[in-house]
Every structure is written in structure tokens, then in C-alpha cells.
Amino acid sequence: MKQRHLKGFLGTLLLTVSGVLTASYYFYRKAFGRNRKKFMDRDEALQDMRTEAKWELGKEWLERQPYEEIAVESYDRLRLKATCLESFYPSNRHVLLAHGYGSTAKGMAVFAKFYHEALGFNVLMPDNRGHGKSQGHYIGFGWHDRKDILAWIDFLVQSYGQDIEIVLHGISMGGSTVLMAGGEPLPPQVKCIVSDCAYDTVDHLMGYQLKRMYKVPYFPIIPLVSLILRIKAGYGMKDANALKQVRKCRLPILFIHGGDDRFVPTEMVGRLHDAAAGEKELLIIEGAGHAMAYWKDPVQYKNRVAAFVKKYIQPREEEK
């Protein structure tokens, strides 16, 4: 009798462990693998972002511009691509635009238009590793991408000279990416950061999403997914920590977030803002969902970004 019960227990345990491991690997592939994120098409928290047709207008504008595609090699020998658009007139001002999860460089075209036309900036829009035309089999969620940002900054300095001035502006995953980059030693050409709807840590974000989307608790799935991620991609979820990075960052940061963001909850920007060690500003656009702050109140968004950037970046005398 006892032997039969033991076999039954072991069989149940084996099935449970097998199920948890299968679910963990599925979640890893779904969230971190290079594939189309179909689940985002059905996510109600992203409904406004999907249905905002003006995103396409930005891309149409970009296709009419004389942009060029450029490439650099990452620290781990990936070929990374970017879209580069020079200003109408010679300028030492540059913006590096970092796109969000599952998007591409051209998804930042509406922001490129603003910086290019309203502020007279040169624009660089990289495809993150694992996205668009850049190489990579997994998504870095900002952690490995922070080093890619350093490579792009070096490209700008080498290409345009030591006297350039650079803004880092990212949205969603890109917002966290520029914050993580800000915690690294940066050259003096980088003057400030604009971070829109960033998450504080990947560990927090994935635990939140697992519960929100699947009603599954943090343990044991998230620790197992993080272990798989470390084996497959060389980093764990707790490594990708924008909170830790902003504590080291001395650059001025403008934090932006939608007041009705249910994909990256608004409370995360409060933690990031509180943790930031340097000069900082906070803009909450009430009623805006994820990545929708610009569209909810474009006038306030552009005015705040322009005022913030102009405090730290000035044109050369010949540009005035």
C-alpha cells in the first residue's frame, strides 16, 4: 500500500515539475525570444496604442526623408542597424531614440519628426538587438542593450566630433534602456535623458504581467524563467534593473508616464523618479495608457520635452 502511494506521489510530483518547467520555457520563448509578439495584439492594456493611426503617419513622414541606414558591431559581435537622419542645417545636437518592446527603429518616427523639425536635431534610431534589422536571437530588455547604446554614442562622437551634444530618449523598453545606459560611465557629450513609460526592473514587470495576464503567481515560474534566461541569454531578470542604474546616474532625467498605464503600471515611474540621484522632472499625463502620453496630450508633451532639453543642450553660435 505504502509503495503504491509513494509511486502515486512521485508520479504526481514528476508531472507537476514537468508542467512547471514546460510552462517556464514557454514563457521564456514568448517573452524573451525573437518572434512576433502575437499576445500583444489581444492585450486590452495596449488597445489604445494599437488603434492610434497617427503612428503610421510618423512612418510615412520618415519615408519621405533622406535618411540612411548604418551599422555598428556590438560588444558581443552582433551587427546592429540604425536609421540616421541628419538635420536640415549643420548642427551639433543629436538625439538617440530607443524604441519599445516588439517594435523597431521606425516605430519612433513620430518622435524623430518632433526632434528633427521642431528642435533641429540630428536623429539616430537604432533597432534594438533581437528587433528589426539588428541581429540577436533574444530580447535584452535594456540590460544588454545599455551597452549597445554606448556603442551608438561612440559612433556619433567618432562620426560628428567631440563637440556634439546628445539626448537619450526612449519609450517603454527603450525608456528603461536609456535609464540603464545612464547608470554606466558615459562620455561628456551625453547631456540628458528622457524616459517615457519605463519599467523599474524586468523582475517586477514579468511578475506583474504573469499575474495580470495569466493569474499565475510569481513563484515558481519567474525564478525558473530567469534561470533559463541566464543560461540562454547570459543575464537574469533581476540584473535588468533600472532602479539600480538611476541611483548611479548623474544626468538630468525627465520621467514621463501615462496615468492610466496598465501594461507598465504608473507606480513604477514613481519608484524610478524617487531613486534617481541627479536632477529630475516628472510628467504624468492623466488618462494616457501605455506609450500613449504623447498622443493624449501632444502639446504638453512636446512643450515639456523641448523645455527640458533646451536647459541642457544649446546650439553652437553659428546655429543661432
On the question of pLDDT at 10 being above 60, the answer is no
β-pairing, 68-73 vs 79-85, is antiparallel
The number of helix segments (H) and strand segments (E) in the chain equals 12, 8
Q: Which 8-state DSSP code applies to residue 89?
A: S
Q: Among residues 9, 14, 22, which one has the least CA distance to residue 225?
A: 22
Given the candidates 3.40.50.1820, 3.40.50.720, 3.90.226.10, 3.40.50.170, the CATH classification of the domain at 43-201+240-319 is 3.40.50.1820
pLDDT tens per residue, range 69-117: 999 999 999 999 999 999 999 999 999 999 999 999 999 999 999 999 9
Q: Do residues 173 and 268 touch, judged by C-beta distance below 8 A? A: no
Q: 220 preceded by cis ω (within 30°)?
A: yes
**What nine digits make up the cell of 191?**
547631456
How many CB atoms lie under 10 A from the CB of residue 152?
23
Instruction: Compute the CA torsion angle 288, 289, 294, 300 (nearest 10 deg).
Output: 20
pTM score above 0.85: yes
Q: Which 8-state DSSP code applies to residue 319?
A: G
**What residues does 280 pair with on adjacent strands?**
253
How many CB atoms lie under 10 A from the CB of residue 215?
7
**What residues does 283 pair with on adjacent strands?**
256
Residue % of the chain over a pLDDT of 70: 90
Distance CA 190, CA 5 (A): 66
How many CB atoms lie under 10 A from the CB of residue 297?
18
pLDDT tens per residue, range 174-211: 999 999 999 999 999 999 999 999 999 999 999 999 99
Residue % of the chain over a pLDDT of 90: 82
**What nine digits make up the cell of 228?**
533559463
On the question of pLDDT at 46 being above 90, the answer is no
Distance CA 213, CA 89 (A): 48
Domain ranges of the chain: 43-201+240-319
Provide mean pLDDT across the span 126-155.
98
Q: Do residues 167 and 135 touch, judged by C-beta distance below 8 A? A: no
Distance CA 263, CA 157 (A): 35
On the question of pLDDT at 1 being above 60, the answer is no
Compare 43 and 253 and report the one with higher pLDDT.
Answer: 253
Give all strands (DSSP E) within the chain, no chain letters: 68-73, 79-85, 93-98, 122-126, 165-171, 190-196, 253-258, 280-285
pLDDT tens per residue, range 221-273: 999 999 999 999 999 999 999 999 999 999 999 999 999 999 999 999 999 99
Distance CA 175, CA 301 (A): 15
Q: Which 8-state DSSP code applies to residue 77?
A: S
